[in-house]
Amino acid sequence: MANKIKVDDKIINIEFRDKNEYICLTDMVRGEEGSDHIRNWMRNRNTVEFIGLWESLHNSDFKGVEFDRFRKEAGLNSFNLTPKKWIKATNAIGIYSKSGRYGGTYAHKDLAFEFGSWISPMFKLLLLKEFQRLKELESNQYNLEWNVKRLLTKTNYTIHTDAIKDHIIPKSNYSKNNEWLLYAEEADILNVVVFKCSAKDWREANPKHVKKGLNIRDFASINELVVLSNMENINALLIEKGIGKLKRLEELGRLSQKQLKSLNSADLIKSLKKETDMTFIDAEKKDKRNG
């Protein structure tokens, strides 16, 4: 599971390991010779003592003998320490490195905040502020807002289905027993333009959620629910005007992406997808995991 926060115009990834948050140090100094910043921070005597004591408190497999060696050498001109060297020698768990799209050097939040101080006191304060803002996603405030938006979407769906009943079904050759297919097809137009996925595709990728009676919209972000509600109204108007499905799909796709981009840039936090009643996660990471 991953989240993102924005600090000083930098998008910083946060990952979870063993129910603990790890913040990407590389993102914190991206564009500023990040690897050098991290190495310089780690070769500092105070840093070595701090991360070593943290490991001693949280890691039963930490190799204290190697830590003592690094502590004695810290401060010497010849001393050099990298995350890889530290992890290999001491069996550390507070820092790790990974490659790929979300690659970089990650550190437990306790250590990441200390690295923030190394960058600047102001950066650390901004980092703490945004981290706390992210944690507020677990509060009733965000869950209440999500539930309100979900209810609004369901309410507007009635407007959408009425348009289908009044303007599409009378012109179709579907029997009474098969009219539900038209409603499903129109609902999937909205799913595709907002979520880039049909209901069927989502169900096939998430069988455990389906068994619980959940659907793709139960895991939307607040911003996605806002746009979905808007698209229901717009699609109803387009249906009343007699505009064909392909043209509606094209227009709704253009409008939905424009609105999502605008809302996400205004509030990055509300762009995170809902995973449970208490947590939200990064959309791209969730899609990659479900794929």
Same domain for 15 and 85? yes
Does 177 lie in the same domain as 108? no
Same domain, 98 and 178: no
Pair 74, 185 in one domain: no
The answer to whether 256 touches 263, Cβ cutoff 8 Å, is: no
pLDDT score at 126: 93
Same domain, 107 and 87: yes
Q: Specify whether 130 is located in the same domain as 203.
A: no
Amino acid residing at 263: L
The predicted pLDDT at position 64 comes to 94
The pLDDT assigned to 141 comes to: 58
Give the per-residue pLDDT at 188.
92
Same domain, 213 and 274: yes
Domain end, chosen from 96, 120, 136, is at 136
* Same domain, yes or no: 186 and 160: yes
Q: What's residue 118's pLDDT?
A: 93
Helix (H) or strand (E) holding 273: strand 273-274
Q: Which domain holds residue 45?
A: 2-136
Measured CA to CA, the distance from residue 187 to residue 115 in angstroms comes to 48
**pTM confidence score:** 0.53
| Spans of the chain, pLDDT less than 70 | 1-2, 33-35, 137-144, 269, 274-291
Does residue 56 sit in the same domain as residue 190?
A: no
Domain finish residue from 90, 105, 136:
136
Q: Where are the alpha helices (DSSP H) in 220-244?
A: 222-240
Residue 288's pLDDT is: 47
Our count of domains for the chain comes to: 2
Residues 168 and 184 in one domain: yes
Please indicate, yes or no, whether residues 98 and 161 belong to a single structural domain of this protein. no
The pLDDT value recorded for residue 135 is: 78
- Per-residue pLDDT at 275: 61
| Rounded Cα distance, 23 and 111, in Å | 9
pLDDT in tens, 107-148: 999 999 999 999 999 999 999 998 988 777 656 556 667 777
Instruction: Check: CB of residue 270 under 8 Å from CB of residue 223.
Output: yes
pLDDT value at residue 77: 85
- Report H helices in the chain: 25-28, 34-42, 45-58, 64-73, 83-90, 109-119, 121-135, 140-167, 180-195, 199-205, 207-211, 222-240, 245-266, 283-290
Three-state secondary structure call for residue 138 = helix
| Residue at which a domain ends, from 115, 136, 157 | 136
Give the chain's end-to-end CA distance (angstroms, integer): 14
Query: Are 144 and 110 found together in one domain?
Result: no
